[in-house]
Amino acid sequence: MEEERHNMDWVQGSFGGKEFKMKIETKSVHVTPVGDNLFADLGFGPGQSAALKADSQRIISEKLIIKNSLMGELAKWIDENQLKQVEAAQILGVSRPRVSDVVNGKSTKFTIDSLVDMLARTGKNIVLSIR
C-alpha cells in the first residue's frame, strides 16, 4: 500500500548578490511496510535474521547501560554540587536543555562520547574496562 504525504517547505538563499525565498512542494512516499525484523525485510533467512536481530538488540542494550551509567554519574555530580542546570551547562560546555536531558535520563539524545566529554569536564576520571 502506497501512502503519500505532501509538504510545503521554504527555501531561501542568495544568488548573484540577490536574496531569494521560494516555496517548494516536497513529497514523501512510503512503499514497503515495516516488518517485525528488519534483517528479514532485507532478505536474510529466518535463522540468520533472528541471530542478527538478537545480536543488535544485545549491543543496543549494552550501550544503553553504559549511557545510563554515565548520565547517572553526571546527575549525581550536579546534585552533589547543588548546581542549577544553567551553572552545570556552563561547566559542561553544553546548553541548559542538554543538562535537562541528562537529568531526565533521555539517553537516546546522547552518544557515549558526548557523555564521556561532559564527565571529563567535571574533573572525574573515566576508566574503560573490557571483559
- Encode pLDDT of 26-84 as tens digits: 776 666 677 889 899 899 999 999 999 999 999 999 999 999 999 999 999 999 999 99
> Residue 2 has which C-alpha cell?
502506497
pLDDT at 17: 72
Domains (ranges, CATH) in the chain?
A: 59-131 (1.10.260.40)
Query: Residue 62's closest CA among 3, 104, 112, 12?
Result: 112
Residues 6+ apart with CB under 8 A from 49: 37, 39, 40, 42
What letter does residue 50 receive in the DSSP assignment? H
Model confidence over 119-129: pLDDT tens digits?
Answer: 999 999 888 88
Between CA 72 and CA 119 the distance in angstroms is 11
Band of residue 85 on the pLDDT scale cut at 50, 70, 90: very high
- 3-12, 14-23, 114-123, range with greatest mean pLDDT: 114-123
